Structure 1
């Protein structure tokens, strides 16, 4: 009897072997493409029943070339790389990983926020340049002193698992924690987190704004000049969600003009950012390489949990964490 085929598309820095072993031990033939190129994916996965997707775009054109695929399992909480409406129309399942790295991303966001508030990169640079406390406390360019977190409000746009975890971690540190999410379940809204009815109202009450929402047509470019202009002067932006949520030029201008004191970005509209991207050269914008999710535990979960979704679907007809169910 012919084995069912599962194909990993692009795994980036992840090692697919633990997921491959899970599926192989269950009787699947497993292949890896190692690319986002649709031609290479189509060539390797032409007879596949399931696709495990990193960041490779999967739209109608690629689906046309994969007629046997019945399930698309992402290796992330986000699933904007897949045309979910088209998948649903074709009777395909789409799954994601809602909690594979919740703690890791929440801790990374908190670390970014505190690094900005306490101005740790400048402190590090001062010591390496031969300076000490006096130079840090009274810099020649007039940079303000670090701020006391207990006097600041942390605002969260999006209030899913990661943001709720961040709220718990941040509550003892920041003076106030507030959030906006029109889709959040009120029953899961923790005591002590102020609830705002719009992103604009939240921004106006916020010193550190952290983004925790998916990329959709409605959220793309949400953080624009208008929203940044609503924030308290000297505030900070943290983005560990999706790069396209933020209008890049508006962010650079807000920092250049002093409206914002800085930003920390783990995600970018183009990854990795091109050499001429102004974000790479900006001294008050701190960058990390889309690594907020990364730990030893999450590295394994990101390849094993999609495999577990496929195993559950194959054995029971339903995956563990679906975000799209077939409409036919």
Structure 2
């Protein structure tokens, strides 16, 4: 009898890649909301999830489940601690979209500096004003602060250095090893915020990093500086950002992620003249999604075969003797 894999949600047209690597029956949620997942979870031997929340109540309902695989890097939508207590292996895919997110970071930096949003809007509205949105900014010689120095931030470094930018970094707790050539690590976040012309966030969302850019931090930035976020929306206090933009405390923001996500209709950030906004698309390309689907499926398949997946988030679960796995659940 084939195992059943519950798929809460996915961001590509179909599950053909997953079906090639998982010999299983697929149970695909329609909405992925908690009420539906609670109904479907008891039939699941494994769960694959992209953005939908797999919380303690869903895990408790999934009495047959031995593994939860994340389509992606971040784990803020999975209760990893509870999964570990239940003996459920949690896996992710930390290395599938580094180039795409780094490219998106560069895109947002350039769009802000070159005033792409207001210039494009003016032309589409019938205008032809090269001063629409103000004077573009020369990036050569400007300083960018990378908050976090993990794999994606390290990919950003050669891209922005190619523009002639100076690179600062603040280690937020992520990343290891020495800084890349040409990167100066600052001692604390306040120092970097005060010095940077662009602040770019590259941190996981944890209780410690949630809201790490709030009113206080925004007030430390230069009035001509830009904030770029391609990581997690909740790293930034959204309402504090709106106030900073409206008050002229910073010059603009480039956001691929927001809090909440999506932003409700009519939210100030949706049509703010100083904001470049994209719909959490930084990870997305023809190559990255195929790679993501394959690696996430392989992780789940390996656990279902009784093995250890390539990327284990909670390796301590393997210290539970096999005969105790059911007792832990």
Q: TM-score, normalised by structure 1?
A: 0.91
Compute the displacement of 1:260 (Å).
1.1
Partner residue of 1:219 out of 203, 209, 215: 209
Question: Compared with structure 1, are the counterparts of its residues 301 and 35 closer, same or farther at alpha carbon in structure 2 (3 Å cutoff)?
Answer: farther
Residue aligning to 2:148 = 158
Structure 2: runs of 5+ lacking an equivalent: 321-329
- Measured against aligned partners, the alpha-carbon deviations of 1:248-307 in whole angstroms (never above 9, x if no partner) come to 111111111222111111112122211131111211111111111111111212322110
- Kept after mapping to 1: 8 A contact 2:118/2:273: no
Equivalence for 1:148: 138
Partner of 2:272: 282
Which SS does the other structure have where 2:118 is aligned?
helix
**Does structure 1 retain, via aligned residues, the 8 Å contact 2:6–2:48?**
yes
The verdict on how the C-alpha distance between 1:66 and 1:175 changes in structure 2, with shifts beyond 3 A counting, is same
- Asked if residue 311 in structure 1 is aligned to residue 301 in structure 2, the reply is yes
The match for 2:327 is none
Is residue 36–residue 55 contact of structure 1 (8 Å, CA) maintained in 2?
A: no
Q: Does 1:58 find its partner at 2:54?
A: yes
Q: Which of 24, 31, 34 is the matching residue for 2:30?
A: 34
Question: 2-side partners of 1:261 and 1:185: how far apart?
Answer: 29
Q: Distance in 1 between matches of 2:120 and 2:43?
A: 54
Matches within 5 A, 1:100-179: 100-132=96-128, 135-137=129-131, 144-179=134-169
Alpha-carbon RMSD: 1.8
**Structure 1 residue runs without a partner (length 5+):** none
Aligned to 2:326: none
In the alignment, the residues of structure 2 paired with residue 186 and residue 39 of structure 1 have an alpha-carbon distance, to the nearest angstrom, of 40
Q: Distance in 1 between matches of 2:15 and 2:168?
A: 38
1:19 maps to 18
Match of residue 325 from structure 2: none
Relative to 1, partners in 2 of residues 1:126 and 1:59: Cα closer, same or farther, differing over 3 Å?
A: closer
CA contact under 8 A between 1:116 and 1:264: conserved in structure 2? yes
Q: 1:293 aligns with which of 275, 283, 287?
A: 283
- For residues 215-242 of structure 1, the C-alpha deviation after alignment (integer angstroms, 9 at most, x for no partner) is 1111111110111111122110111111
SS at match of 2:140: helix
Once structures 1 and 2 are overlaid, which stretch shifts more, 318-327 or 227-236? 318-327
Cα displacement string for residues 102-154 of structure 1 (whole angstroms, at most 9, x for unaligned residues): 1101101111011101112222234344544xx424x5xxx642111112111
Counterpart Cα distance in 2 of 1:37 and 1:121: 34
Equivalent pairs counted in the alignment come to: 318
